[in-house]
Amino acid sequence: MKKSDPLLGKKLSRRDMLRLTGVGGLGLLLGGGGIGGIMATRGAAAQVPAAEVKEDTIPFYGSHQAGILTPSQNFLYFASFDLTTTKLADVKKLLELWTTAAAALTSGSLIGNINDNPHLPPSDTGEAAGLTPARCTLTFGVGPSFFDGRFGLASKRPAKLADLPAFKGDDLEPKWSGGDLCVQACADDLQVAFHAIRNLARIARGTAVLRWTQEGFQRTGGADPMGTTPRNLLGFKDGTGNPDVTNAAEMQKIVWNSSGDGPAWMNGGTYMAVRRVRLRIEIWDRSTLNDQESTFGRYRHSGAPIGAKDEFDDLNLKATDHSGKPIVPPDSHSALAHGDGTVKMLRRSYSYSSGMDLTTGQLDAGLLFISFQRDLVKQFVSIQERLSKNDRLNEYMVHTGSAVFACFPGIREGGTIGESLLG
């Protein structure tokens, strides 16, 4: 809202309300994007001790978006949006509103300054009032469909940003795939993450609608104070082979785009691959431990490669037993994902459970696989093609959803989400 708006900060009269209603303003108010709709105020969140808020806060502004190299929080709420407008100005306005809201949400503030007016809908839904930010991060990106010509941006689509090819064994469903925009909300409290997506969706009304969402979880810090590698729903450690996020040179090589990689607006950004993977848990649970460990190429208890002792020991794919047979099965998940070790990506996945499949009576549970990489084709696609053809794990899983997004560079303080692309 511009400071020159004559209604900014003014108590709305009945005449003002009727005038706003006549031009659709009431809808904006209900969506949190109207008068004073997203001006940040501390509100009830100020009741939380300042020391706790600071300790639990991850900065929203920076050279790169948070939620990528950030150590994984306990919970995820992922949302994909479709734009309902064909006006670029509407998209710019939405991202401006989302920027202000995101800065408030990640700092533990209520959204808006009309949360105490009994005659208006609150500009914040309120379920996170009084809670700390819980290390909430919000990561924003755009999908290939964003550049389909509706907004005159086709020439700015990175060549690397395209829908993924069909992989062997995929059983993709439109309800879990695609999207013009994405928001990855992560936090150490699921209510905080849900609150963020709920309010961003409210603000988007009239400009964008939710296409699909997925909640995710891993073991909490309280349950695992040592911070060991999380286990997936098959009981194995997931993410052991991730690169070191504290190594800036390694992250520049694997994750971040730089000049020469593509359009300048992606400098400091990265590409996200999202795959909804349903696990055939009931079949897995009837498999022997030996079969399970051969499938992953690792010991279940320690996470170490077969033949090794420690979780982080090198994966020796040349080692053989007395008969000359490879100790780590060549078609195991670890062996195929590793390849020759030269192609890496940063994984940031979460388990999910969406209740029971009423058709089969089995659990609809699995993994929301998320990875970040500098080049989707050279990194994610090349690895996934190997896995889809030969991975032993394919017997126990099916990919039901798929999406890719270009995640913007970081947002500078005073700037807006996507300004490097939209100006």
Q: How confident is the model at residue 306 (pLDDT cuts 50, 70, 90)?
A: very high
Residue 352 CA to residue 216 CA, distance in Å, equals 5
Alpha-carbon torsion angle 185, 188, 190, 193, nearest 10: -30
Q: How confident is the model at residue 54 (pLDDT cuts 50, 70, 90)?
A: confident
Q: Which of 38-47, 95-104, 154-163, 259-268 has the lowest mean pLDDT?
A: 38-47
Q: How confident is the model at residue 47 (pLDDT cuts 50, 70, 90)?
A: low
Q: Give the list of residues 6+ apart from residue 38 with CB closer than 8 angstroms, or none.
A: 1, 32, 97, 100, 101, 104, 111, 112, 123, 203
- Give percent of the chain above pLDDT 90: 85
Q: How confident is the model at residue 423 (pLDDT cuts 50, 70, 90)?
A: confident
Given a cut of 60, whether residue 272 has pLDDT beyond it is yes
Residue 355 CA to residue 285 CA, distance in Å, equals 18
Q: Which of 100-109, 111-120, 261-270, 408-417 has the lowest mean pLDDT?
A: 111-120
Query: 233 exposed, middle or buried (CB, 10 Å; 0-12, 13-18, 19+)?
Result: middle
pLDDT of 167-217, one tens digit each? 999 999 999 999 999 999 999 999 999 999 999 999 999 999 999 999 999
Q: Give the list of residues 6+ apart from residue 277 with CB closer than 8 angstroms, or none.
A: 366, 367, 368, 369, 397, 398, 399, 400
Given a cut of 90, whether residue 22 has pLDDT beyond it is no
Given a cut of 60, whether residue 30 has pLDDT beyond it is no
Q: How confident is the model at residue 329 (pLDDT cuts 50, 70, 90)?
A: very high
Given a cut of 70, whether residue 166 has pLDDT beyond it is yes
Mean pLDDT for all residues in the chain: 90
What is the pLDDT at residue 29?
32
351-356 mean pLDDT: 96
Q: Quote the pTM value.
A: 0.88
* Pair of tokens at residue 4: 């020159």
N-to-C CA span, the chain: 18
Buried b (16+ CB within 10 A) or exposed e, 124-135: bbeebbebbbbb
Given a cut of 70, whether residue 42 has pLDDT beyond it is no
Say if residues 221 and 74 touch (Cβ distance below 8 Å): yes
Given a cut of 70, whether residue 253 has pLDDT beyond it is yes
Given a cut of 50, whether residue 407 has pLDDT beyond it is yes
95-116 mean pLDDT: 95
- Give percent of the chain above pLDDT 70: 88
